[in-house]
Amino acid sequence: MTKPENTIIKDDKRRGEWAETVFMARAAEHGLPVSKPMGESDSFDCVVGYPGKFVAVQVKCTMAKPEAGKGYKCSLMMSHNQKYREGAFDFVAAYVIPEDAWYIVPAKLILGQATMRLGGPLGRFEQYREAWHLLREAVACEEIKEQPEPEPLVESPVMRRMRASFGFMRRRLVGEE
């Protein structure tokens, strides 16, 4: 497996924290209420939904291309190379940094796996690429159900700077700058 030269976020933990921030911003762009629990004691990174109906999301990111084949290899392991237990979270949100693509995958589909391969037209998880609707359906809140897919808004200067920052970091991580 080859990894691109990483010039900014070399530490995997910090890169993961950055991916969590990107996830929260993207979820909000899709009209999803998202929260970050305090601390790191839980087996999930974020929750999506409203009181009475939350789903737990484990956020992962990858830039790792396997030597043979197409796509990107994404680890599904906890620290210390341990697999997640059943019920640890409801969805994996995996960010393929070079493609700027999110995969929203139900946890039941990856239970017991150490990795998953993402990307490529024939990939097993390709139907979950940008599947934000799964999170909306999972929380099944009337307020969210009634909302159509959010219309693209005229970006505020703050959102423009945030999007530019995310783009800059993504490009630096994959060696485009």
114 in a structural domain: yes
pLDDT tens string 36-93? 887 776 678 888 998 888 998 999 998 887 766 678 888 888 877 788 888 889 999 9
Overall number of domains in the chain: 1
Asked if 93 contacts 102 with a C-beta cutoff of 8 angstroms, the reply is yes
pLDDT tens string 12-21? 788 888 998 9
Backbone phi and psi for residue 59, each to the nearest 5 degrees, phi listed first: -95, 130
126 in a structural domain: yes
pLDDT reported for residue 10: 76
pLDDT tens string 105-158? 999 998 888 888 898 766 789 999 999 999 999 987 555 445 556 566 667 777
Q: How far is CA 106 from CA 31, 87, 126, in A?
A: 19, 11, 13
102 in a structural domain: yes
Distance CA 158, CA 91 (A): 29
98 in a structural domain: yes
Distance CA 102, CA 59 (A): 10
Residue range of the domain that includes 26? 12-173
Residue type, 29: E
**Which pair of tokens denotes residue 168?**
């800059």
